[in-house]
Amino acid sequence: MRKRGWSFRIFVRYMLFQVPGVVLLYLLLILAGRVVVLPTWFIWSLVALWVIKDLILFPAVWRAYDQERRNDAGSMVGSRGIAEDRLDRSGYIRVHGELWKAEVMGNIPSIGKGEKVTVRGIRGLKLFVEPDRGT
């Protein structure tokens, strides 16, 4: 299972989505400056802090801007993951670095914590898994 990180393309897409918010903030500060005297340095400082906030949040949200990974939920079928806790019929697994609710398929009584699993189906946000047989 290859762990894929963010790329420059994803970073540019994220920053372009942030532009309208920065422009709106700037315009609101300019309008507020007509009612209350706001120094120019104050306006630019707030805009800079807003951009810094976006940069700090990027590592937490970049996956939402990766269109190649969002093709379809069915692409999860066949993926391999690791049980985050003991799966007694259901529990949580980690697939592609993300935590998912999972349910054990078939007559398998349980899957232990740390065991490898293979996704065999998906319904909504729940994955249906079985132990990974290494195939």
* DSSP string across 66-115: -TTTTS-GGGGTT-EEEESS-BBSEEEEEETTEEEEEEE-TT---B-TT-
Residue 1 belongs to some domain of the structure: no
Instruction: Indicate if 78 and 127 belong to the same structural domain.
Output: yes
Instruction: Indicate if 78 and 59 belong to the same structural domain.
Output: no
Domain span including residue 85: 73-131
Cβ-defined contacts of 68-71 (< 8 Å, 24+): 69/4, 69/96
What pTM does this model have?
0.52
Token duo for residue 92: 């949580």
Instruction: Indicate if 13 and 59 belong to the same structural domain.
Output: yes
69-125 pLDDT, tens digit per residue, is: 555 555 788 889 999 999 888 899 999 888 999 999 888 888 999 999 999 988 888
CA nearest to 83, candidates 72, 73, 75, 91: 91
Residue 3 belongs to some domain of the structure: no
Whichever domain contains 94, its CATH number is 2.40.50.140
Q: How many domains does the chain have?
A: 2
Instruction: Indicate if 16 and 32 belong to the same structural domain.
Output: yes
Of the given ranges (26-40, 47-61, 71-85), which has the lowest mean pLDDT? 71-85
The residue among 65, 97, 112 that closes a domain is 65
Instruction: Indicate if 52 and 90 belong to the same structural domain.
Output: no
Residue 114 belongs to some domain of the structure: yes
Instruction: Indicate if 110 and 89 belong to the same structural domain.
Output: yes
pLDDT for res 3: 52
Instruction: Indicate if 15 and 46 belong to the same structural domain.
Output: yes
